[in-house]
Amino acid sequence: MKTEKKRYKIKEFSTFFLALPVLFCLLFCNGCGKSFQKTVTTFACDTVVTITYYDKKDEKAVNDALSYLSELELVFSRTKENSELYALNEALHKGEDFVVGKDLYQALVMSYEAAKESDGAFDFTLGNVSDLWNFTGETPHVPDAAVLAEALSHTGYEKIHLEGIFVTDAEESNPGGIVSSEDASLSVDLGGMAKGYMGQKLKEQLMEAGVTSALLNLGGNVVAIGKKPDGTKFQIGIAKPEKDSSEYVSTVGIANEAAVTSGIYQRYFEENGKWYHHILDPKTGVPVESDVASVTVIYRDSGMADILSTTMFVTGPDYAETYVKNCPQDITVIYVMKDGSLKEFSNK
Ligand code: AMP
Ligand code: MG
């Protein structure tokens, strides 16, 4: 059978890991004296991952989802030397084009579009700059200004080129694509969206396997499948954005949606009395300085919710208000400001 390959060039694209748990799932078993409930916990993608399910027959599907998570980690990890993303960055650093599979390609397309739409506030090419801050390492520190400026000159979503591959007679309409960059010093970092993307993929696989009620938590990226067995929404707590705090400032109910938070207290270090968190202003390469302590996005697609939480942390509430107003899908955005006040935008 002949396979005809056709490429299309994405000339213009409009568009993003790791955090300690931000949202704490409040799993109330309202009057369900008889019901089954089990939570499996694993450590993946540098964070704690839990899946709570409510039907014994879902055990195999949940175990399969955990194996799938390990596979996805080998796509998106920026630090594991055997990951696909690692290989992509290595190829880009040699000035070579690189063929990526469906998941990495789809995540890159989403990220490129989000970078364009947010005018670069969401920037998945900040890898070199993030490396200098080293938030995930043992010794994070404020980088030297000249070194930071040099790293920042090798960023920019518009320097990434994505070329989709269509295989017309294949079952798969999106087998992946070719990634290239004119800047051999640029590094892709999907930390702003990868956990959300993975959560969405796990949800889809679990639903295909017949799971109708479950809650996934990938280090604070919470994804709901359906509702709780008693028909009520899952209640998610929005953490008080303070060091080591286990208090909530608010709770939200979600059903078949994701709730994703970006905040100043997820990954940070203190140097000379100053707090440095991991969400960077792509214009300066330094952590965003604003009145925002955290932002939580509730949206049906977890990957997009993750992209939006990072974006809206960078842009601030005015952008979010307009975005929510114009968004054709249901969306709720909740900011916790540093003074403790809340700002909520919703089109529901
Ligand atoms: P999140 O916790 O989803 O907001 O993602 C934060 C992570 O995304 C950081 O640890 C970096 O890996 C990456 N990142 C930092 N700043 C940005 C930005 N402006 N746009 C996209 N990704 C970013
Ligand atoms: Mg994010």
Task: Give the closest residue to 23 by CA, choosing from 277, 214, 306, 229.
Answer: 306
Q: Is the CB of 280 under 6 A from ligand 1?
A: yes
Of 148, 189, 284, 314, the residue with max ligand 1 atoms within 8 A of its CB, to mutate for a pocket test, comes to 189
Determine the atom of ligand 1 nearest the C-alpha atom of 267: 10
Q: Separation of 279 CA from ligand 1 center, angstroms?
A: 5
Averaged pLDDT for residues 196-203: 98
Q: In the prediction, which pLDDT does 172 show?
A: 60
Q: Is the CB of 130 under 6 A from ligand 1?
A: yes
Q: Is the CB of 115 under 6 A from ligand 1?
A: no
pTM of the model: 0.89
Mean pLDDT, rounded, of the chain = 89
pLDDT of residue 4 exceeding 80, the answer is: no
Q: In the prediction, which pLDDT does 83 show?
A: 97
Q: Separation of 196 CA from ligand 2 center, angstroms?
A: 7
Q: In the prediction, which pLDDT does 15 show?
A: 27
Q: In the prediction, which pLDDT does 220 show?
A: 87
Task: Give the closest residue to 66 by CA, choosing from 86, 48, 79, 51.
Answer: 51
Q: Select the more confidently predicted residue: 148 or 268.
A: 148
Rounded Cα–Cα distance for residues 343 and 256 (Å) = 23
Residue 165 confidence class, pLDDT cut points 50, 70, 90: confident
Q: Separation of 56 CA from ligand 2 center, angstroms?
A: 32
Q: Is the CB of 126 under 6 A from ligand 1?
A: yes
Runs of H (alpha helix) within 27-135:
59-76, 84-93, 102-117, 127-133
Share of the chain above pLDDT 90, in %: 77
Q: Separation of 191 CA from ligand 2 center, angstroms?
A: 7
Q: In the prediction, which pLDDT does 9 show?
A: 32
Report long-range pairs for 245-254 (Cβ below 8 Å, ≥24 apart).
Answer: 246/24, 248/24, 248/26, 249/336, 249/340, 249/342, 250/334, 250/336, 250/342, 251/26, 252/296, 252/298, 252/332, 252/334, 254/222, 254/224, 254/298
Residue 3 confidence class, pLDDT cut points 50, 70, 90: very low
Rounded Cα–Cα distance for residues 13 and 247 (Å) = 40
Q: In the prediction, which pLDDT does 275 show?
A: 87
Q: Separation of 307 CA from ligand 1 center, angstroms?
A: 9
Averaged pLDDT for residues 145-167: 94
Query: What would the pLDDT profile of 87-140 be if each residue is shown by its tens digit?
Result: 999 999 999 999 999 999 999 999 999 999 999 999 999 999 999 998 888 889
Q: In the prediction, which pLDDT does 14 show?
A: 28
Q: Which residues contact 19 (CB under 8 A, 6 or more apart)?
A: 47, 195, 219, 220, 263, 266, 267, 278
pLDDT of residue 11 exceeding 70, the answer is: no
Of 89, 278, 306, the residue with max ligand 1 atoms within 8 A of its CB, to mutate for a pocket test, comes to 278
Q: Report the b/e string of 278-287 with b at 16+ CB within 10 A.
A: bbbbbeebbb
Query: What would the pLDDT profile of 261-311 be if each residue is shown by its tens digit?
Result: 999 988 888 888 898 999 999 999 999 999 999 999 999 999 999 999 999
Note whether 17 and 192 are within 8 A (CB): yes
What is the distance, to the nearest Å, from the Cα of residue 142 to the centroid of all Cα atoms in its chain? 24
